[in-house]
């Protein structure tokens, strides 16, 4: 069965969103049960949003907002917190600016640039949450609390994204990945059964 690139992208985004939502719910409820007095927060949001930004660019806003929504639902957040996390998380996409500066391939292939990309996404999300919170009556000092309580999430994101670099195609622009794998198949003289009379495909993904 051939999929259009749009269908492939939507399925991929959906899978990533489901993984993130389940992880946020499990981690939030586990922390509330086992560590009710702990101030630190662990969230996979930045890790997954960073990976999706590399794969699909600005479509990562779906995971940024969805991750915030899942976290708020799991934690029983107030209306203000829904706004802070769902809108504020989307500021993680400021890291997309680094694609224009360095290019996706350099960020993917160089550990130092991958680290910069991940930290920028984290900082953007924290600043976004702070700005939304400030607009809704928060204080200037809240920025310190946001960075401090979410420091474990940054550490997790750094490790997770660096590991994702090692897995073929995971932390990679998906159009570039599909083109690369198609070229590899042709070089190894493996028939591309995705090619049909209906047009060119990338391993069953129509372009």
| pLDDT tens digit sequence for 34-85 | 766 666 788 999 999 999 999 999 999 999 999 999 999 998 888 899 999 9
What confidence score (pLDDT) does residue 197 get? 42
Q: Is the pLDDT reported for residue 143 higher than 70? A: yes
* Position 183 in a domain: no
Report if residue 121 sits inside a domain. yes
What are the tens digits of pLDDT across the range 111-141?
A: 999 999 999 999 999 999 999 999 999 888 8
Q: Please check whether residue 96 lies inside any domain of the structure.
A: yes
| Domain-located, residue 206 | no
> d(Cα 94, Cα 202) in Å, to the nearest integer?
30
Q: In this predicted model, what pLDDT tens digit does every residue of 173-184 receive, in sequence order?
A: 999 999 998 888
Total domains in the fold of the chain? 1
Give the domain range for residue 71. Answer: 3-28+39-172
- Tell me what pLDDT residue 127 has: 96
Give the C-alpha separation, 198 to 3, whole Å: 12
Rounded CA separation 11/163 (Å):
23
Least Cα distance to 124 among 101, 90, 155, 154 occurs for 90
From CA 129, how far away is CA 127, in angstroms rounded? 5
Phi/psi of residue 199, nearest 5 degrees: 135, 175
Averaged pLDDT, 24-42: 79
Q: Is residue 33 part of a domain?
A: no
Confidence of residue 198 (pLDDT cuts 50, 70, 90): very low
Q: Is residue 185 part of a domain?
A: no
- Residue 187 located in a structural domain: no
Residue 201 in any domain: the answer is no
Does this model's pTM top 0.75? My answer is: yes
Q: Under a CB-based contact definition with an 8 Å cutoff, are residues 124 and 93 in contact?
A: yes
**Cα–Cα dist 142/154, whole Å:** 18
Do 9 and 207 form a contact (C-beta atoms < 8 A)? no
- pLDDT given for residue 206 in this prediction: 65
Percent of the chain with pLDDT over 70: 88
Q: Give the residue with greater pLDDT, 150 vs 196.
A: 150
Residue 37: per-residue pLDDT: 64
What value does the mean pLDDT take over residues 18-25?
95
């Amino acid at each position: 069965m051939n999929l259009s690139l749009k269908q492939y992208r939507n399925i991929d985004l959906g899978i990533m969103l489901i993984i993130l939502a389940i992880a946020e719910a499990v981690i939030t409820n586990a922390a509330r049960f086992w560590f009710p007095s702990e101030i630190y927060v662990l969230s996979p949001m930045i890790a997954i949003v960073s990976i999706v930004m590399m794969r699909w660019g600005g479509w990562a806003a779906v995971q940024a907002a969805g991750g915030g929504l899942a976290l708020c639902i799991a934690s029983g957040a107030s209306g203000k917190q829904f706004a802070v996390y769902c809108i504020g998380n989307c500021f993680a996409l400021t890291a997309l600016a680094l694609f224009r500066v360095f290019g996706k391939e350099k960020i993917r292939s160089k550990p130092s640039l991958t680290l910069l990309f991940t930290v920028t996404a984290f900082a953007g999300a924290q600043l976004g949450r702070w700005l939304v919170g400030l607009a809704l009556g928060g204080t200037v000092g809240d920025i310190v609390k946001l960075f401090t309580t979410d420091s474990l999430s940054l550490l997790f994101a750094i490790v997770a994204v660096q590991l994702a670099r090692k897995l073929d195609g995971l932390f990679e622009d998906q159009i570039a990945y599909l083109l690369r794998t198609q070229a590899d198949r042709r070089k190894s003289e493996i028939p591309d059964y995705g090619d049909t009379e209906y047009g060119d495909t990338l391993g069953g993904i129509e372009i």
